[in-house]
A and B are shown apart, each in its own frame.
Chain A
Amino acid sequence: MPGKILVLAEHRAGKLKSISWEVIGFGQKLAEQLQQELKVVLIGKAIECLADEVSRKCGQKVLTIISDRCEAYTPEAHCQILSQVAQQESPFLFLMGHTYQAVDFAPKLATMLGRGFIPNCVDYQIEAGRLQFVRQVFNGKINLQVGLKGEPPYFVSLQQGAFNAYEVQSRQSPRVVNLTVPLPEEMLKRKVLEIVQAAQGKVDLSQAEIIVAGGRGLASKEKFQIILDLAHTLGAAVGASRPVTDGGWLPKEHQIGSSGQTVTPKLYIACGISGAIQHLVGMMNSSCIVAINKDPNAPIFSVADYGIVGDVFKVVPVLIELAKEIRK
């Protein structure tokens, strides 16, 4: 398979996002396996230093598109630029992280070019010379193998954390090339007015040694109380999955996951949490994970060290009593 792999690297505040390093690392590995060339694409305003840094670190060619119109991300500018890049470079594959930005523009771009977009992949394989990706469906309970269809380029995004084993290698040909793409103002339909940081809450879970977290399985705000009780007796902090904070059972600051906090306690006790990937990315690097769930097939068990298949309302009260005993 001769050709080229392009990695779209994302950045904020002058720094590359960690997921983009993962994608570059995996891109290098894949380029080697398929004997293809790899280039990193960077879009933005005043990104010259970043481009140099990226190029030096991975020793690959970097293609920059620098424009005042790209100071803030818009899907229109991204799609215009990347369709031009696709035309000029004729890549085989466009790789990117499965970020909020990719979700916003990649389906549009692929559709503009009459192609498909394979989102949020967690694994890959090359079978009889054919490249296939694996993604999770049905709330992480089933994997789906997806092949490339039609003509290249193929658009693929990678799940955060799933490819971090592929470390960036420092190759031989660092070089930055800039490409100019006209971006007439009337094309940019979306106007970015402001970027705001959600008010920093009082709850900083990143320092907690033990976290007791509850999910939708707790059924209601009232019943969620037993999670607070267990946390209290263990001297632990309280975490939650998204439905718990969406439903107002707990303030948003307690949410753990891709749109909440990332935590690495020594002990994480997940109660009534199914283990959706957006939750797992926020807690899977905890040292010891305990899962209590009535569903033996819940994906949370795939990251747990200890599991109890059972009803939280039966198990947690016992844990509270035992913790009280030990404490005496």
Chain B
Amino acid sequence: MRILACLKQVPEKDSRYKIDDTATGIREEDLVFETNESDVYALEEALRLKEKLGGEVVVLSLGEERVLKTIKSGLAMGADSALHLTDPAFRGSDAFVIATSIARAISDQNFDVIFTGVQSEDMAFAQTGTILAQLLGWSHATIVMEVNVSEDGKNARVKRELESNLFEVVEIPLPAVLTIQSGINQPRYATLKGIMQAKKKGIRTLSAQDLGLKNSQLGSMGSVVDHQKMFFPEKKKKTVILEGTPEEAARTLMERLHKERCFSRWPSAERNSLCLARFWF
């Protein structure tokens, strides 16, 4: 099996953002980056597939120099080699451009399966993997919670998450792109040995030119949607922020819940075994 896992680097979840002067991006100076959450699950699934059927796992990340950290952590987890797609012209690209670039980078590499995350936490397009499958003429399955590849490597039986606690089991022919949902497995941590070995593994760097892509096909020019401007959302609800020390804030909260709102809202009817609140409110 030749297996590709796509890793996107995104700002840490607790980040505080500043929108840049063009209002089309964020300022990166003070941000700390990490690997997109569902991509870590995707890589773990890739490594498990290799351990079962043999083969090779390649990780790929598109982005500036900083994404090397993500690539290295993928190699330390156990991937065999890496592709780094990097070019200033990629900035501002939408999912179509990213998928196009990935498709170009791997078109001659005979992968059997590509794993991506369900969605990126920064841009949340939820479509890079599916577009990639379409560009390659492969089948795909999204929001995957279980993967079983047949011994002969011809088919994959996968379980997809649906709404309302429903799941769907489907079979698709390989090669295919699978977009992996968090919770499918428990990702391993890199071991010290893994980190040492990673230093010797190959990282191939490819620019837009190497991929045969012109500037007009990249960034906002090449994008199929028009990202106009970013802004901070307005609050819909008036939130009362309770100030003071944790002690004071907690006390005010209890008083408020008790007096102002919740007391009057607790009907004395219908008892609920889960909920003893009425006894003390």
Chain A residues in the interface with B (C-beta under 8 A): 75, 99-100, 103-108, 110-112, 114-120, 132, 135-150, 189-198, 207-210, 216, 234-237, 242-243, 245-248, 258-260, 266-267, 274, 287-288, 290-291, 295-297, 299, 301-311, 314-315, 318-319, 322-323, 326-327
Q: Known contacts being A104-B143, A120-B124, A193-B169, is A305 close to B261, with CB within 8 Å?
A: yes
Check B134 against A308 for contact (C-beta < 8 Å): no
Of all chain B residues, the one with the shortest Cβ separation from A237 is: B274
Interchain CA distance A101-B220 in the complex, whole Å:
27
Q: Known contacts being A288-B262, A303-B236, is A190 close to B229, with CB within 8 Å?
A: no
> What distance in Å separates the Cβ of A199 from its nearest Cβ neighbour in chain B?
9
Across chains A and B, which 5 residue pairs bring their CB atoms closest together, nearest first?
A235-B276, A116-B224, A107-B127, A246-B183, A147-B226
Q: Known contacts being A149-B223, A235-B276, is A112 close to B167, with CB within 8 Å?
A: no
Residue of A104, A189, A194, A196 near B173 (CB, 8 A) is: A189
> What distance in Å separates the Cβ of B116 from its nearest Cβ neighbour in chain A?
12
Check A137 against B130 for contact (C-beta < 8 Å): no
Residue of B121, B143, B240, B265 near A139 (CB, 8 A) is: B121
Check B142 against A210 for contact (C-beta < 8 Å): no
Q: Known contacts being A100-B161, A103-B142, A266-B265, is A306 close to B247, with CB within 8 Å?
A: no
Of all chain A residues, the one with the shortest Cβ separation from B161 is: A259
Q: Known contacts being A100-B142, A100-B162, A142-B17, is A302 close to B121, with CB within 8 Å?
A: no
Check B172 against A266 for contact (C-beta < 8 Å): no
Q: Known contacts being A191-B170, A243-B182, A310-B249, is A141 close to B17, with CB within 8 Å?
A: yes
Does residue B233 face the partner (Cβ distance < 8 Å to A)? yes
Does residue B251 face the partner (Cβ distance < 8 Å to A)? yes
> What distance in Å separates the Cβ of B171 from its nearest Cβ neighbour in chain A?
5
Of all chain A residues, the one with the shortest Cβ separation from B238 is: A305
Of all chain B residues, the one with the shortest Cβ separation from A207 is: B272
Check B125 against A142 for contact (C-beta < 8 Å): no
> What distance in Å separates the Cβ of B81 from its nearest Cβ neighbour in chain A?
28
> What distance in Å separates the Cβ of A168 from its nearest Cβ neighbour in chain B?
21
Check A308 against B169 for contact (C-beta < 8 Å): no
Does residue B206 face the partner (Cβ distance < 8 Å to A)? no
Check A115 against B224 for contact (C-beta < 8 Å): yes
**CB-defined contacts of B171 to chain A, threshold 8 Å:** 190-191, 193
Interchain CA distance A196-B165 in the complex, whole Å:
9
Question: For residues 158 through 182 of chain B, which have their beta carbon under 8 Å from a beta carbon of chain A?
Answer: 160-163, 165-173, 182
Interchain CA distance A295-B11 in the complex, whole Å:
15
Q: Known contacts being A148-B226, A150-B224, A318-B251, is A194 close to B168, with CB within 8 Å?
A: yes
Does residue B94 face the partner (Cβ distance < 8 Å to A)? yes
**CB-defined contacts of A103 to chain B, threshold 8 Å:** 118, 126-127, 130, 142-143
Show 12 residue pairs from A and B whose CB-CB distance is below 8 angstroms, ordered by the A residue: A104-B130, A104-B141, A137-B122, A140-B233, A142-B232, A192-B169, A210-B275, A246-B183, A247-B186, A302-B237, A302-B239, A308-B249
**CB-defined contacts of A144 to chain B, threshold 8 Å:** 227-230
13 additional A-B pairs beyond A234-B280, A267-B277, beta carbons within 8 Å, are A100-B142, A111-B96, A117-B225, A135-B124, A138-B17, A138-B26, A142-B230, A143-B230, A149-B225, A193-B157, A196-B169, A302-B233, A314-B246
